[in-house]
């Protein structure tokens, strides 16, 4: 069994509010590609300016629609991994638990996590490019984006593109949790994309213990109170076991 710092386990035992921010690394063991890993990361293989901006969608809606439809189908074909499941089980161990994700894959909800704050949207949802009305499509098919009944534009994936603001209510909720929690976990994120990357630093300024769970070093590593180095699909279930053994 992996060893965890006794002070970390003690902090978790007495914590009233635990918040967790996840990134692409938490879904890597499900087979969803990350963004910045050399060779396999999406941004190592595709140019975000061709696929993940409003300008790219206006320039070539079919190309962007098809790319997201392909990713949505790929996400639908994978399963949550032990890291997602451990986080879903953790939600019932604390009086308050906030799960914030930058992932658009919906895997946290599929593994049983409730009230997930999706900072970057959800690849399985769609909205009108102009009027923002949501479209109920269980999954997008390749082809051209369907027109919105408003007549002004077509539907687009309900994800945050480069140059766009994050959904305000979600960001507010995340900031409030970061400022109020006792322990803040940062799991499988390179911690370079703002404003999400600011959350662990804000949590620390407000007095939370910050725990990084990551295979690699990030800009947060030097600031984190605890660094759990390795795959989240192994570390999180082991931490859950250790917490329950102490309970
Ligand atoms: P990145 O690809 O930038 O970072 C993934 C992080 O997870 C890296 O630090 C990896 O070392 C780590 N990692 C990989 N596999 C892991 C594993 N099995 N266990 C633990 N850690 C692992 O992805 P994000 O930080 O999520 O934004 O990227 C942030 C945002 O940038 C994304 O939400 C996306 C992207 O542009 C939008 O699309 C708006």
- Whole-model pTM: value is 0.96
104, part of any domain: yes
Same domain, 186 and 238: yes
Same domain, 71 and 179: no
Q: What is the predicted pLDDT for the residue at 103?
A: 98
| Distance (Å) from CA 221 to ligand 1 centroid | 14
pLDDT in tens, 86-102: 999 999 999 999 999 99
Name the residue of 47, 105, 214 whose CB sits within 8 Å of the most ligand 1 atoms, as the mutation to test its pocket.
214
Q: What is the predicted pLDDT for the residue at 139?
A: 63
Name the residue of 80, 103, 167, 190 whose CB sits within 8 Å of the most ligand 1 atoms, as the mutation to test its pocket.
190
Confidence of residue 247 (pLDDT cuts 50, 70, 90): low
230, part of any domain: yes
Answer yes or no: is pLDDT of 190 > 60: yes
Q: What is the predicted pLDDT for the residue at 137?
A: 66
> What is the number of domains present in the chain?
2
Query: Which comes out higher in pLDDT, residue 38 or 15?
Result: 15
Q: Which atom in ligand 1 lies closest to the alpha carbon of residue 162?
A: 39
Query: Which comes out higher in pLDDT, residue 41 or 90?
Result: 90
Q: Among residues 84, 120, 126, 206, which one is catalytic?
A: 120
**Which helix H or strand E contains 17, and what residues bound it?**
strand 17-22
36, part of any domain: no
| Distance (Å) from CA 111 to ligand 1 centroid | 19
Q: What is the predicted pLDDT for the residue at 38?
A: 80
200 lines ligand 1 (CB under 6 A): no
Q: What is the predicted pLDDT for the residue at 37?
A: 86
240, part of any domain: yes
| Distance (Å) from CA 148 to ligand 1 centroid | 32
Same domain, 141 and 23: no
Q: What is the predicted pLDDT for the residue at 246?
A: 57
* Domain boundary residue, one of 103, 137, 159: 159
Residues spanned by the domain of 60: 41-77+128-159
Answer yes or no: is pLDDT of 194 > 70: yes
237 lines ligand 1 (CB under 6 A): no
Same domain, 104 and 183: yes
Task: Look over the chain and give the mean of its residue pLDDT values, rounded to a whole number.
Answer: 94
| Distance (Å) from CA 194 to ligand 1 centroid | 13
The Cα 56–Cα 49 span in angstroms is: 6
Closest residue to atom 30 of ligand 1, CA basis: 193
- Mean pLDDT of all residues in 179-203: 98
The Cα 64–Cα 142 span in angstroms is: 10
CATH code, 16: 3.40.50.1220
- Mean pLDDT of all residues in 177-184: 98
Same domain, 59 and 90: no
142, part of any domain: yes
pLDDT in tens, 129-171: 888 778 766 666 778 898 888 888 889 999 999 999 999 999 9
28 lines ligand 1 (CB under 6 A): yes
Q: Which atom in ligand 1 lies closest to the alpha carbon of residue 218?
A: 9
**Beta strand pairing status for 121-128 and 134-135?**
antiparallel
1, part of any domain: no
35 lines ligand 1 (CB under 6 A): yes
Q: Which pair of tokens denotes residue 86?
A: 């451990």
**Which helix H or strand E contains 48, and what residues bound it?**
helix 48-51
- Mean pLDDT of all residues in 12-36: 97
Q: What is the predicted pLDDT for the residue at 39?
A: 81
Nearest one of 158, 222, 187 to 27, comparing CA atoms: 187
For the chain, what percent of residues have pLDDT higher than 90?
Answer: 82
Q: What is the predicted pLDDT for the residue at 140?
A: 66
At 186 the three-state DSSP class reads strand
- Helices 168-180 and 198-205 cross at an angle (nearest 10°) of 40
Q: What is the predicted pLDDT for the residue at 40?
A: 85
- Taking a C-beta distance cutoff of 8 angstroms, is the pair 91, 114 a contact? yes
Confidence of residue 177 (pLDDT cuts 50, 70, 90): very high
Q: What is the predicted pLDDT for the residue at 77?
A: 95
Residue 120 annotated in active site: yes
């Amino acid at each position: 069994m992996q060893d965890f710092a006794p002070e970390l386990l003690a902090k978790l035992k007495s914590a009233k509010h635990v918040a967790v921010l996840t990134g692409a690394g938490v879904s890597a063991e499900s087979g969803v590609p990350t963004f910045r890993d050399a060779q396999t990361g999406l941004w190592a293989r595709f140019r975000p300016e061709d696929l993940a901006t409003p300008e790219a969608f206006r320039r070539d809606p079919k190309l962007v629609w098809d790319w997201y439809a392909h990713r949505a189908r790929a996400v639908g074909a994978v399963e949550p991994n032990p890291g997602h499941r451990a986080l879903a089980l953790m939600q019932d161990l604390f009086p308050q638990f906030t799960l914030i994700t930058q992932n658009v894959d919906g895997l946290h909800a599929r593994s049983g996590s409730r009230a997930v704050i999706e900072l970057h949207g959800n690849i399985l949802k769609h909205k009108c490019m102009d009027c923002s009305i949501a479209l109920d499509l269980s999954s997008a098919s390749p082809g051209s984006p369907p027109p919105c009944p408003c007549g002004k534009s077509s539907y687009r994936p309900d994800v945050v593109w480069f140059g766009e603001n994050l959904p305000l209510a979600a960001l507010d909720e995340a900031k409030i949790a970061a400022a109020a929690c006792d322990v803040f976990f940062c799991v499988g994120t390179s911690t370079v994309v703002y404003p999400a990357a600011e959350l662990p630093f804000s949590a620390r300024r407000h007095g939370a213990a910050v725990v990084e769970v990551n295979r690699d070093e990030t800009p947060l590593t030097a600031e984190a109170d605890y660094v759990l180095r390795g795959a989240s699909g192994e570390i999180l279930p082991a931490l859950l076991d250790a917490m329950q053994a102490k309970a």
